[in-house]
Structure 1
Amino acid sequence: MKHSKLALLISAAIFTSAGAYASDSNTANVNQSGAENSVVVTQQVASMQNEATVGQTGDRNESTVIQADTSLTKAFITQLGNDNKGTILQHDATESATATIDTTGENNQAKIEQQFNNGANAAALVEQNGNLNAAEILQDNGDTANSTIYQNGDSDVAKIRNHFSDFADATITQNLGGGNDAYINQESSDAASATMTQTGAGNNGDIEQNTQNYGYSAGADDTVATLTQVGDGNRGDIYQSGASSDADVNQQGSLNQADVLQTGDDNMADVDQMGSSDIAYVDQTGQGGMATVMQTGNTFNTATIMQGGVSNAATVNQNGTSNEALVTQSDFDNVANVDQTNVGNNATVTQSGSTTEGNLANVTQAGSNDITVVTQIGNDNKAYVDQEANSFGNTITVMQSGDGNYAGAETNLGGLNTITINQTGNGNFVGNSPLSNNWYDLEIGAGTLGAENEVMIDQTGDLNMAYADAADLSSVIDIDQMGDSNTAVAESWGGTDNDIMISQTGTYHNADVFVDGAGNNMVSITQTDASNTANVTSFGYGNSVTVIQGM
């Protein structure tokens, strides 16, 4: 024949009255060897338990199996060679259909479509060995559908789509290669599950569950997405729209990036990265969400969590140097936890709440040259920052705007640390909290332990309270309060050459200072206006006290 091309068509088309199965249990077997061959097998019209098997050896071959309006059908295509194409189409009222394509070689294409009016329990499998291969599975309107793609090679592409298929289960595995792309889309499919595994460098993985690309907003609740990548320079993305969904990303290697976007209530996101220069980004919109990022590696990792809604929780754990954690939460009753171990780490927490309920920020850093910045807007917020384990050259900044806020910060066993707390509003507190709501044992004010540390507290408003302490030598406490009926308490103990400065502007202020050290400590209290009280107790030698009251 022309171009030495052999075309083979097998058709089993049965026309019967409605409801009758006049053509059951048909079997078609085709085997071809050579190049540029083609096969089309058609089994259709009110039949069941049909089976089609096609085997091709050679290059540039093409196989197509069409099974329509049949139940319990099976289709198998096996191709050995390069530049081959295999297609299985199972359409209409097809129950418990099975489709399998197996290719070995390069630049092969495999496609399976299972589209049902009333179908369930469909199963599709594609396995490809070689480079530059492409596999695609589409399952539409088929509950409890199962789809699986296995690829071994470089620069492969795998796509699975589940539409209107509740309890669908999709799996893509790409091994022993790099530069691969994998994509799973589960649209409007409640309780759908997606699992993706990629091994190698430079891979891209994308899981989308109910992304509403088709202009409707049918729900996809209770979905689960799991993405695992092993190697360097990989990127993984998970997008979920619906309630009670779960997203898990695990990346092992360096220069990897993970993005998780979730819209809906009670969603969970978990990103685990092991390596250096990794990036994790989690964005949740809704209430009752939980986001966790854990980065274990050497240096320069970045974790970002953004949450919009009430009663959300964000947790970042980083173990390494020069890492950065950023948590942004809007609305109220949110909790942010950041834990960093090693040196040169940065933590930034921003929370904007309401006038009714507050947020909680908790930051723990163990190392030197660490930086923490906490910003809270609204009432009844709580911020607690602890820099421990021989902290040197660390910086803590807490800024709160609103009423009834609490701030606590401490640095331990180090020097050249700086604590800055700024509160604007009434009834704010830096110190042992009498307003504890059992979130944490908030017992620390603003304190330092070590040499040449500095504590600065600035409060604007009425009925505020500030407590600060400095231990060891050459440290500075500076408290500035503007308003009425404020209280400042400062302590310096066990050291020399410490300076305590308190400035209060307004009426009915109280200033209490206690100094117990070796000597050469300085206390300065300035109270402007009337009805103020200053109390100073000093032990040691060479200490100086200055109190100025009045205009």
Structure 2
Amino acid sequence: MKHPKLALLISAVLFASTSAHASDDNKATVDQVGNDNSVKITQQVNSESNEATVSQTGNLNKAEVTQADTSNTKAFITQVGNENEGAISQHNSTATALATIVTEGSSNKANIVQKYYNAQSAAAAVNQVGDSNTATITQENADGASSTINQLGDGDTAEINNYVSDFADATINQSVGAGNNAYIEQDNSDGAEATISQAGAGNTGSIFQQTDTLTDDASEDTVAVIDQSGDNNSADIVQTGLSNDAAVMQMGNGNEAFVTQSNLNNMADVDQTGDSGWATVMQSGVNAGATIAQSDFNQTATVTQSGDGQMAFVTQSNANNTATVTQSDMSNLATVNQAGNGDMATVVQTGISNEAVVEQTEYSGSNTVSNTVSVYQTGNENYAGAKTGYNANSTITITQTGNNNTVTDNINAINFYGTGFGAGVWGSDNTVNVTQTGNDNTAYAEGATNGSMVDIVQIGSLNEAIGESWDGSTNDLDISQTGTEHFADVFISGSTNVIAVTQTDMGNNSSVNTFGNGNSVTINQGAVMMP
């Protein structure tokens, strides 16, 4: 009868000392069933109350435990399967450290390293069930830190590096799917939390935390979470500030998400439930919040926030929409909702307490196509609202420079799009341009059905202009006011109407109402004296 070759190598090296606690209460237990297994256990110097347990069942397994100059440390390695390798190394003065490796399957690898002064119950654990998985945990001088890797799929790779991050918590969960990659690095980030969960296949997740916090305090609240349940997604979170919160959830396929937080108390939330989406959040200010929700197909969203107290909300559905929000200074609010096809929205806010609302919507089962909205605000307390819907090629451009400017609904207007919205556009080939420069300006503009164009330009103070061109086609409306205390009100219903109102100087008042076909109204008030 042939017996399987059994290679058993156990090395336990215990160094004696005259110290009262020198090399006492150490325990080593090895249980091997299979072929070509190798175990090496080393517990040495003042290794008080150490315990190392290795159990291997299978072929070509290797396990190595090294505990040096440590107290109250425990190391457990359990391997069931083929070609597994497990290594635990706990070095100088890693008091109360705990490391656990559990593998089941074939070709799995697990590596845990805890170095130097990992006191206050530092812990690391690796659990592997599946084939060809690789896991690595390194905790260096991270007192009270906890790192855990759970792998249930095949061909997954996970790595956690914790460097001088006391009470930091890092967890990687890889289940069901195959070929996932996850990486977490915590550097000088006391109390930071990072979690990557991958239930799909072919996903890549990366979290980097470097808050430069060395307070030895578990109450620090920098948090990063990546949840990938779809396939072939990529997510990266970088946090170099303190007390930031970032979450990326990818349920669709082929999405990419990037979050960067480099200051204090920022929040970023990215949800991608569609396919082939692209989301980017960059926060370099303080107390900012950004939310991006993408569904359906091929959405792109970028939010850039600097300054204090910025808020941005982007929601995209249907397909091929693009949204860009840029906020600087402080206390700005931007909301972008895109439910059409091929829509583009750009919001730039560089003042204080600006608010912009953009909605590109879908009506009556028809998809909006290729609408473009651009909002530029510079100054204080500006508000801009814009909506597009129905169908194709509509363009809204709103530019505000100054204080207390608004583009909103008006009590004297029809307000088809609802309360709080200025601008408008309904139909195809419509263009609305609103430009305000000065103080206390108010503009409401709307272009409806086909071929309408609304252009409102106000320069000065205390100006108010209402537009409206709806329920017709080929309408053209132009209001230009320069000076102070102007008022213009225009209403058009029908087709082929052309109205132009120009008011220069001060104290002018104009009101135009047309209903029917072929009407043309031109009003010029005041004069500009040429040199």
TM-score, with normalisation over the residues of structure 1?
A: 0.50
Are 1:509 and 2:522 an aligned pair? Answer: no
The CA deviation at 1:216 is: 3.4
Measure, in 2, the Cα distance between the counterparts of 1:524 and 1:399: 25
User: Could you tell me whether the CA contact under 8 Å between 1:210 and 1:219 is conserved in 2?
Assistant: no
The alignment-based identity, stated in percent, is: 46
Runs of 5+ unmatched residues, structure 1 = 23-29, 48-53, 71-76, 431-445, 491-495, 512-519, 526-532, 538-551
Residue identity in the other structure for 1:160: I
The equivalent of 1:82 in structure 2 is: 82
Which residue number corresponds to residue 39 of structure 1?
A: 39
The 2-side partners of 1:299 and 1:369 are apart by: 15
CA distance 1:215–1:5, change in 2 (3 Å): farther
1:332 aligned to 2:330? Answer: yes
Residue 67, structure 1, aligned to residue 58, structure 2: no
2:241 aligned partner, one-letter code = G
Q: Trace 1:382-421 onto structure 2 (pairs within 5 A).
A: 393-396=393-396, 398=398, 403=403, 416-419=429-432, 421=434
Matched residue, 2:203: 203
Is the aligned partner of 1:133 residue 2:133? yes
Could you tell me how far apart the structure 2 residues matched to 1:201 and 1:479 are? 57
Deviation at 1:88, TM superposition (A): 0.7
Partner AA of 1:523 in structure 2: V
Partner of 2:156: 156
Task: List per-residue Cα deviations over 1:222-264 (Å, max 9, x = no partner).
Answer: xxx9x9x9x9442525252517x9x9x9x9x954252526261
Aligned to 2:15: 14
Against the structure 1 CA distance between its residues 462 and 165, is the aligned structure 2 distance closer, same or farther, given a 3 Å change threshold?
closer
**Cα deviation, residue 129, structure 1:** 13
Partner residue in 2 for 1:258: 257
Q: CA deviation at 1:331?
A: 5.0
Q: CA deviation at 1:374?
A: 3.7
Alpha-carbon distance, 1:160 to partner: 0.8
1:370 aligns with 2:361: no
Count of matched residue pairs: 465
- Tell me, in whole angstroms, the C-alpha distance in 1 between the residues paired with 2:458 and 2:35: 83
- Aligned to 1:216, the other structure's residue is in SS state coil
Going from structure 1 to structure 2, the CA distance change for 1:8 and 1:415 (only over 3 Å counts) comes to closer
C-alpha displacement at 1:322, in angstroms? 2.4
Contact 1:42–1:66 under 8 Å retained in 2:
yes
Alignment-mate amino acid for residue 238 of structure 1 = I
Matched residue SS, 1:34: strand
CA drift at 1:12: 0.9
Show the 5 A alignment for 1:277-356.
Answer: 277-280=276-279, 282=281, 284=283, 286-287=285-286, 300-303=298-301, 305=303, 307=305, 309-310=307-308, 322-325=320-323, 327=325, 329=327, 332=330, 344-347=342-345, 349=347, 351=349
Report the CA distance shift for 1:137/1:118 in structure 2 as closer, same or farther (over 3 A). Answer: closer
* Counterpart amino acid of residue 16 in structure 2: F
Residue deviations 1:428-458, cap 9 Å, x none?
Answer: 499xxxxxxxxxxxxxxx9x9xx92321549
Post-superposition offset of 1:286: 2.3
Q: What displacement does 1:135 show?
A: 2.0
The answer for unaligned runs of 5 or more in structure 2 is: 24-29, 48-53, 71-76, 359-367, 408-422, 468-472, 511-517
Among 216, 219, 226, the residue aligned to 2:218: 216
Matched, 1:534 2:525: yes
Q: Secondary structure at the match of 1:452?
A: coil
Tell me the CA shift for residue 91 of structure 1: 2.8
Displacement of 1:508:
1.1
- What letter corresponds to residue 13 of structure 2 in structure 1? A
Cα separation, 2, equivalents of 1:475 and 1:368: 21
Q: CA deviation at 1:350?
A: 7.8
| TM-score scaled by length of structure 2 | 0.51
Deviation at 1:406, TM superposition (A): 9.9
- More strand per residue: 1
CA contact (8 A) 1:376 1:399 kept: yes
Displacement, 1:303? 1.6
Q: How does 1:399-548 map to 2 (within 5 A)?
A: 403=403, 416-419=429-432, 421=434, 426=439, 428=441, 452-455=451-454, 457=456, 462-464=461-463, 474-479=474-479, 485-486=485-486, 497=496, 499-502=498-501, 508-509=507-508, 522-525=520-523, 534=525
CA contact (8 A) 1:327 1:349 kept: yes
Q: For residues 139 and 508 of structure 1, what CA distance do their matches in structure 2 show?
A: 74
Is the CA contact (8 Å cut-off) linking 1:428 and 1:464 kept in structure 2?
Answer: yes
Q: Is the 8 A contact 1:188 1:218 kept in 2?
A: no
Aligned to 2:58: 58
Amino acid at match of 2:525: A
